[in-house]
Structure 1
Amino acid sequence: MVINILAGGPVELLPDLTEFEAENAIWVGVDRGVFQLLKRNIKPAIAFGDFDSVSHEELHFIESRVTELKRFKPEKDETDMELALNWALDQEPRTIRLFGATGGRLDHLFANVHLLHNPLKEKYSTDVCLIDRNNIVFLKEPGSYKIARMKDKKYVSFVPLTLNVRDITLEGFKFPLKNRHISLGSTLCISNELINDYGTFSFSEGILIVIRSHD
């Protein structure tokens, strides 16, 4: 099972959502993202939000079309996206994709990137990634991973989420590395590229933000 979550980020940064309408995909709307799903004739299975970013007319439109609507007061401990992600993780899907989670407010952007750490922290086996028109973002814990070249996202960047990432090794990349140490604030691993159809990356300590992107 795949769960796609659409938040209320700028619509110009959204990819073509029809590319992600797999037969077994479940859609979840978050705040204004619910309205954007309905405009695209995609009915979310469930919706979350305080809905302070929609008009009264848009909220009425949402209420008339969404069966399971979880409304919250604006004054709460979690963001709407975190509430939706927690629900999605409890369904134990294979994959969760977050859309509409970039652009606009930087506090929301940083919070959404950090939310990717929650499944790792709680030991979920679900793969969670953040996707917009130009980027795919996910986190990795220590280990060795195979990574495929993508025609539409040629750049691969590795950014430390933790204070230190140790023994990072990149093979099959334009700029290979062998057992290097990178610390928070390092830009050593920005804008690398795969030179073969596949490459590998590995490290022994820390957490990496992996970003696939294009200009």
Structure 2
Amino acid sequence: MNALIFAGGNVKDYEFIKKYKSFYDIVICADSGALHALKAGLKPDFLIGDMDSIPENVFEYIKKLNTKIIYYPKEKDFTDTELAVEYALSLGVKKAIIVAGIGTRPDHSLANIFLLVKYLNKGLELKVVDEDFEIFLIKDEKEIEGEKGDLLSLVPVTEFAEDIYTEGLYYPLKGETLGFGTSRGISNVFLEKKAKISLKKGILLGIRVHSN
């Protein structure tokens, strides 16, 4: 089972969400993420959080939609987005896309990105997307679809990412090691519609930025 998870970050244009129509089985919203789901024309199946940021009129409307609402206190140990991801895991979700996971709060944005690492070890594959980019993890090997001219940055999220090989990118890596904190893997370029990344040890954060 796959899920779309709406957080409370930024969305400029909801049109891009249509391309994930065939991906998801359920829609989970973290607090004010419900507003994004509704603007995208989607009915939330689950609404989770302390409800401190969702507009009151939106909340009242959702109560009429047969959406399952799961309340948490405002003083809690986890963000609403992480609670939504954890709930998805409890439902048996194996893959989930987080929409509006990046916003004006860098602390929340970073926390959402690092959820990808935490939940990889729990068997849940996460991706963070918006109109301009997608963020995902690369472990062992991954083929990435894009467009010629798209940017691809590779950022280690382990101490080292070792023996990295790339195909289909302007700046090839041939058995190189990247250490945590390096900018060496930033702003590579797609030469065609697919790129392939492999590594022997460690985990990379992949960030594909659309060229148009």
Deviations 1:8-54 (A, max 9, x none): 11232655322222285311111111133234442111110111113
For residues 85 and 188 of structure 1, what CA distance do their matches in structure 2 show? 31
Q: 1:43 to 1:79 in 2, by over 3 A?
A: same
- Give yes or no for contact 2:167–2:196 (8 Å, CA) kept in 1: yes
1:209 paired residue among 191, 194, 205: 205
Q: Output the CA distance in 2 between the equivalents of 1:118 and 1:10.
A: 23
Letter of the 2:180 partner, please give it. Answer: L
Contact 2:147 2:192 in 1 (8 A): no
Superposed CA RMSD: 2.1
Within the alignment, does 1:147 sit opposite 2:139 as a pair? no
> Which residue of the partner structure matches residue 165 of structure 2?
169
Q: Could you tell me how far apart the structure 1 residues matched to 2:23 and 2:155 are? A: 34
Counterpart residue identity of residue 97, structure 2: R
Conserved? CA contact 1:152–1:214, under 8 Å: no
Classify 1:200/1:55 alpha carbon distance in 2 versus 1 (closer, same or farther; 3 Å).
closer
Aligned-pair distance for 1:94?
A: 4.3
**Equivalence for 2:132:** 134
Q: Please give the TM-score of this superposition, normalised by the length of structure 1.
A: 0.88
Label 1:96 to 1:208 Cα distance change in 2 as closer, same or farther (>3 A): same
Counterpart CA distance in 2 for 1:117 and 1:128 is 9
User: What per-residue deviation string (whole Å, max 9, x for no partner) do you get for residues 82-122 of structure 1?
Assistant: 11111112333342100011021000100000001122222
Structure 1 gaps, min length 5? none
Contact 2:164–2:177 (8 Å) recurs in 1: yes
TM-score normalised by the chain length of structure 2: 0.89
* Structure 2 CA distance for partners of 1:22 and 1:198, relative to 1, 3 Å: closer
* 1:43 and 1:66 in contact (8 A); partners too: no
The aligned runs of 1:64-213 (5 Å cut-off) are: 64-122=64-122, 124=123, 126-141=124-139, 143-148=140-145, 150-151=146-147, 154-213=150-209
Runs of 4+ in 1 over 6 A off after TM superposition: none
Q: Secondary structure at the match of 1:12?
A: coil
Question: Could you tell me which amino acid in structure 2 is paired with residue 78 of structure 1?
Answer: F
Structure 2: which 5+ runs fail to align? Answer: none
